[in-house]
Structure 1
C-alpha cells in the first residue's frame, strides 16, 4: 500500500476550505489504496493565534517533526501549509534528503497586509523561499498559478477542488420565513480580508444574511443591525441555509478558490462576486453567476439567473477529479529532486 503523509498547520477545530480540501482528497485517495496519514498540530503542544483562537500554532521542534516523518516512512510527502509545522517539515525533509510537494491555498501576503503594515513583497519573498524547495507547488486555479508566476514562483501545477453533492444539493426553501426577500447569503469566515462590508453596504431590497464566525463579527453586527448574523453552521443546517437563499454573495477579493462558491451552486443558488481570482475561475458559465466590479449590479443580475443552471455548473467540480490532479502531482519522497524551472 502506498503511504502518503500530509503535513498541515490548518486542522480541526478550524472550519475552512483548506481543512475540507485536505480531508476530502485524503478520503478519495484512501479509497484508491493510499494509506493516508496527517501530521497536524494535534500531535504537539500548541498556542492560539492572536485574534484567531480557533487556529492553533504548533510548537513542534524540527527534531520532533523529523522523528514523525521517519516513523511514518511515507512514499510521498505533501506539505500543505507554510506555518510553523509546515516550516519544520520543510527543514526536516531537506535534512533527510526527502522530496516533497507543497500547496498554495491562501493569499497570505494580502491577508497580512490587511492587518499589519507589512509590504506585500516581504511576504511573497518568504513564500517563494518556502516553496522553491518543493518538487511542485499545487495551486487551485489557473488564475492563482498565473499570479504566482507573476511573483516569481516556478514548478506550479493545478489542484482544483470539488463539492460533495451528497451533502450539497437543491432543496426547498425552509429558512428565512418572515424576512423580506430576496434573501442574500454570505457563508464563510467573518474577517477583514473577506471584505464582508462591501456586501453589507449594498443598497438593495431584501435581507442580508451572514453565516460564519470570526474576529470581525462583533463589529459588523454592531454597525449593520439590519443584517442577520447566524454564526457558524454545519451539516444539514448549513445545507438548508444555502437552499433557502435567492443569491449567494461572495465579496472577497483575496481568496484563491472559494469552496463556498461551489457549495452554493450545488444547492442551486446563483452567485454574485467580483471578477477576481477564485470567482472568475469557478463561474466560467455566465448562466451560473454574475461577475461585476459593481457588486450590487452583480447581485441584481444573479437574482435573474436559473437555479438549475447553477446546479448543473457545480457538477463540473468533483473530488474524484481533484484527487486525480493531486495524485498526479505527487513526487516519490525517496527520489532525488531534479529541479526544472
Structure 2
C-alpha cells in the first residue's frame, strides 16, 4: 500500500512516539509498503512555550492538502493531535477520505500539568478529534477501556515491540563505583513524568536520571544527591539500562512506556505505579513490580531474577507491531462496505485528474 502518515512528533525528537512510528515504518517497508511522511519539519514552526523540543507547525493546511492529493495514498494515518494532525484531519473530512488515528499520549493530562485547563476540556477535544477516525489505535487494553468509558469509539489494539539486539544484558558497566543499588529513570525530564515521586523517596544506594527536558535544572537544584547524566544514546543508553539494578517508571500519564520494555530487554526489573502501561505490562510477568507505594515496588523489583526479566522482554516484536498496524489501516473492514472503501480511496486520483484537466 501507499501509506500517508501525518505526525507532529518526528525526528530529531527522541521519544516513544517517534520510536514507535520509525520502527513500524521500517518493518512495514520490509513487507513492501510505501510511506510518505508529513511532519512538522516541513513547515514554519514555533516552540511550545516551556518545551523547545516540541514544535508547532503554523499555517500548514494548504500544503498538507496538496501533499495528500499529490501522493494519492491508499491509506491515511494521523498519529498525533497537533497542528499537522489537525490539518490532515481537515483534509480528510473535506474530501471525505477515510483515515485512522492513534492515541499515543494522554494529551489532556499533559496539558493540565502545565496550564489551568480542566481534564474535561482536554478529553472533549480528543473525542472530537478522533470521532471521525475509522480506527483509533491504542497500545494497551487498560487504555482502551478508559477511552471507551470516556465516550471514544472504533478503538483497536496496536501492540509495541522492543529492540532486543541493542538492549541486552551483560554490557560493560557505565556507572562506575556508584553505591548500589542503582535505581534509574530514563526518559524525558518533565513535570508530566512525575519524577519527583521517585526522587523524594528515602532509599539506599544511588538514584540516577538519564535524559533531558524542561524540568532538568529545577530537579538538579532540588536534589543535589541525585546523579543526572543528561541524555544518552546508542550503546551508552543500552549500558545505562543494563548497569541499573532497577528501572523506576513513576509516570502516571504514559499510554505504554517503551522504556519499560527496553529496560526489561536489558534484564533490569521495573518498578512503577499501577498506571496505564505498567498495569498491562508488569503484573504476572515476573519482570517487575507495581504498587501504589513506589518504594515498595522498588524493593520488590530488586528481588527479581534478571534472566526472567529478559525472557519476558523477548515476547515483544516490532514485526508483529507492524503487522497489526497494517491490519488496522482498513477503517471499513466489513465486506458490505468494501465498495465504499474503494470508492473513497480513489477520490484523490479523481481530484488530481480534474485539476490536470482544468489546467
Shorter-normalised TM range: over 0.9
1:169-189 per-position Cα deviation (integer Å, ceiling 9, x unaligned): 112351111210000010010
**Alpha-carbon separation, structure 2, partners of 1:39 and 1:289:** 38
Q: Does 1:37 align with 2:27?
A: no
Q: Which residue of 2 aligns with 1:248?
A: 247
Work out whether residues 285 and 313 of structure 1, in 8 Å CA contact, stay in contact via their aligned partners in 2: no
**Alpha-carbon separation, structure 2, partners of 1:335 and 1:230:** 54
Q: Which residue of 2 aligns with 1:258?
A: 257
Work out whether residues 99 and 334 of structure 1, in 8 Å CA contact, stay in contact via their aligned partners in 2: no
Relative to the length of structure 1, the TM-score reads 0.96
**Alpha-carbon separation, structure 1, partners of 2:289 and 2:48:** 36
Q: Which residue of 1 aligns with 2:295?
A: 296
The count of residues paired between Structure 1 and Structure 2 equals: 336
What does 1:7-26 align with in structure 2 at a 5 Å threshold?
7-26=6-25
Work out whether residues 283 and 290 of structure 2, in 8 Å CA contact, stay in contact via their aligned partners in 1: no
Runs of 5+ unmatched residues, structure 1: none
**Alpha-carbon separation, structure 2, partners of 1:96 and 1:236:** 46
Deviation at 1:124, TM superposition (A): 0.4
Relative to the length of structure 2, the TM-score reads 0.91
Work out whether residues 162 and 322 of structure 1, in 8 Å CA contact, stay in contact via their aligned partners in 2: yes
Deviation at 1:93, TM superposition (A): 1.1
What does 1:53-72 align with in structure 2 at a 5 Å threshold?
53-72=52-71
**Alpha-carbon separation, structure 1, partners of 2:100 and 2:218:** 39
**Alpha-carbon separation, structure 2, partners of 1:59 and 1:16:** 22
Q: Which residue of 2 aligns with 1:137?
A: 136
Q: Does 1:277 align with 2:276?
A: yes
SS at match of 1:70: helix
Work out whether residues 271 and 298 of structure 2, in 8 Å CA contact, stay in contact via their aligned partners in 1: yes
1:34-59 per-position Cα deviation (integer Å, ceiling 9, x unaligned): 01121111111111111111111111
SS at match of 1:90: helix
Deviation at 1:114, TM superposition (A): 1.2
Over aligned residue pairs, what C-alpha RMSD do you find?
1.3
> 1 or 2, which has the higher helix percentage?
2
**Alpha-carbon separation, structure 1, partners of 2:270 and 2:343:** 44
16-25 vs 89-98, which moves further: 89-98
